[in-house]
């Protein structure tokens, strides 16, 4: 039994493993791009999207009578298997590659062709019967297949990210409700400011996530514009005038996405602006998540010598030398994901800018960067929700004491005793260590009943009707 089969391309003959579904073009890519050790097969959404593009093309050609039913049905069946999760280990090209994604497209063509040949009872490599380019890649170019697959895959992956973000937002909302009656001191520039509730603080994190969910949904609308049918540069050379419309219709049905043809295919083939915009939104998500995690680390700092306002669930021993130390490891890992996403955005920006004339050759690094960002952000959101936010508890005693001893509450008295009096009371409270309320009563600036009314939690934490002060 032979262990290899001989295949031919522009460069000559080369032996391919007999059991491999990929062929000579993929072999060249394996040899040329030993870069990351991470293959395109690890991005399941991308492989699924590639299979759906090839399936949509075969359906269109069958409908147009340009591909006979026997070959078309075999290609369609092979694509269905791949889209369902089979043969992903055969997508072996490195995620970073030259050639504007040509190696990825050829890898897909060869795997689909050889699996289709098997379904027809033929041997792998029997391309005289069913060819990777002539049949699987009919009316296609890497320059419309690859960007289209990237966009479809991005839509799939963003959907998963949105689900993870919604889960994290709901976790914050639950904590906001749980902590709604717990008073604390807010801070500006890390200095004591005015009172708020811990619930208000956590509701802010939920609102920030909700805003970014909306921005991601908006950004994905541009991603759904595809250039399938554009072929090499957008002119649609080698395609039937009916093909693009049919192929896009089939791809929309197969993917479950409301895909649309880009208004100008020449522009769409060279422009990566939609990816830049999406990457910018992902950077926005990362920035907000990192800020939130910074807050969680600050609020839980200590426990003895820090703020110690909340307690994060312990997830691991924190030190190899300091017994009893527990670190905020979950917020820290999300911080690092955020740093990576911000760096990925820079990569996407440079790669998009570096395109020349009718094609951007750097879409592989754009794809790799985007998929990393989306995947890691999604896992980070789920990790933060499940292993941190759900288990947070409030240090009610510490929070109550901070409100009672803080001069920040004097701000609430400004409308009633005047700024000058409030300033004097704040200075005295700071120097003496006495409470603001005690000094106000001592100076008879307000009655006990008046003071109690003003210092109610619901008054301190939201706008109120303020009656004119009597001189």
What is the three-class DSSP state of 394? strand
**303: preceding bond cis by omega (within 30 degrees):** yes
User: What sign results for the dihedral spanned by CA atoms 84, 88, 94, 99?
Assistant: negative
Q: Which of 141, 319, 402, 432 is catalytic?
A: 319
CA dihedral 454, 460, 464, 466 (to 10 degrees): 40
- CA-based nearest residue to 391, from 326, 325, 312: 312
Strand partners, 273: none
Cβ atoms 321, 310 nearer than 8 A: no
CA dihedral 454, 457, 461, 466 (to 10 degrees): -20
- CA-based nearest residue to 132, from 111, 147, 161, 149: 111
Determine the angle formed by the axes of helices 44-64 and 243-255, rounding to 10 degrees: 140
Determine the Cα–Cα distance for residues 204 and 298; give it in Å rounded to an integer: 16
Determine the Cα–Cα distance for residues 168 and 166; give it in Å rounded to an integer: 5
The structure tokens listed for 311 are 């307690």
- The per-type count for the chain, helices as H runs and strands as E runs, is 17, 8
Q: What DSSP designation does 289 have? A: H
Structure-token match 């040899």, residue found: 31
The structure tokens listed for 281 are 């939104």
Cβ atoms 164, 375 nearer than 8 A: no
What is the three-class DSSP state of 300? coil
Cβ atoms 68, 74 nearer than 8 A: no
Helix (H) or strand (E) holding 151: helix 142-178
- CA-based nearest residue to 453, from 416, 401, 421, 422: 416
Determine the Cα–Cα distance for residues 367 and 348; give it in Å rounded to an integer: 8
Determine the angle formed by the axes of helices 142-178 and 273-299, rounding to 10 degrees: 30
Catalytic annotation present for 319: yes
What is the three-class DSSP state of 16? strand
| Residues recognised as catalytic | 319
């Amino acid at each position: 039994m032979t262990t290899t089969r001989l295949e031919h391309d522009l460069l000559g003959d080369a032996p391919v493993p007999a059991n491999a579904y990929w062929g000579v073009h993929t072999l060249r890519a394996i040899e040329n791009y030993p870069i990351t050790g991470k293959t395109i097969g690890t991005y399941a959404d991308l492989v699924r999207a590639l299979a759906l593009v090839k399936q949509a093309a075969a359906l269109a050609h069958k409908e147009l009578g340009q591909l006979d039913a026997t070959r078309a049905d075999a290609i369609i069946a092979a694509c269905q298997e791949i889209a369902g999760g089979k043969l992903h280990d055969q997508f072996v090209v490195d995620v970073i590659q030259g050639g504007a994604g040509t190696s990825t497209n050829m890898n897909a063509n060869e795997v689909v062709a050889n699996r289709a040949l098997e379904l027809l009872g033929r041997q792998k490599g029997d391309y005289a019967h069913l060819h990777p380019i002539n049949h699987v890649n009919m009316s296609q170019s890497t320059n419309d297949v690859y960007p289209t697959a990237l966009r479809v895959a991005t839509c799939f992956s963003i959907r998963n990210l949105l689900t993870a973000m919604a889960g994290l937002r709901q976790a914050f909302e639950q904590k906001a409700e749980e902590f709604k009656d717990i008073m604390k001191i807010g801070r500006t520039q890390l200095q004591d400011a005015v009172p708020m509730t811990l619930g208000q603080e956590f509701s802010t994190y939920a609102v920030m996530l909700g805003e970014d969910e909306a921005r991601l949904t908006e950004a994905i609308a541009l991603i759904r514009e595809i250039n399938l049918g554009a072929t090499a540069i957008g002119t649609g050379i080698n395609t039937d005038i009916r093909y693009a419309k049919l192929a896009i219709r089939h791809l929309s049905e197969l993917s479950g996405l409301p895909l649309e043809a880009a208004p100008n295919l020449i522009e769409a083939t060279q422009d990566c602006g939609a990816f830049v915009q999406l990457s910018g939104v992902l950077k926005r998500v990362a920035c907000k998540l990192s800020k939130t995690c910074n807050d969680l680390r600050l609020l839980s700092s200590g426990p003895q010598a820090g703020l110690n306002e909340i307690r994060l669930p312990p997830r691991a021993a924190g030190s190899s030398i300091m017994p009893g130390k527990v670190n905020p490891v979950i917020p820290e890992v999300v911080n690092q994901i955020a740093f990576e996403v911000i760096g990925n955005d820079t990569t996407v920006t440079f790669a998009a800018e570096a395109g020349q004339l009718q094609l951007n050759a750097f879409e592989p690094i754009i794809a790799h960067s985007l998929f990393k960002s989306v995947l890691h952000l999604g896992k980070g959101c789920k990790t933060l929700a499940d292993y941190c936010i759900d288990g947070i508890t409030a240090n009610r005693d510490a929070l109550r004491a901070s409100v009672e001893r803080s001069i920040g509450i004097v701000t609430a008295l400004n409308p009633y005793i005047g700024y000058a009096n409030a300033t004097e009371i704040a200075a005295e409270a700071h120097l003496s260590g006495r409470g603001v309320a005690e000094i106000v009563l001592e100076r008879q600036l307000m009655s006990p009943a008046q003071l109690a009314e003003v210092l109610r939690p619901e008054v301190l934490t939201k706008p109120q009707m303020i009656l004119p002060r009597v001189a």
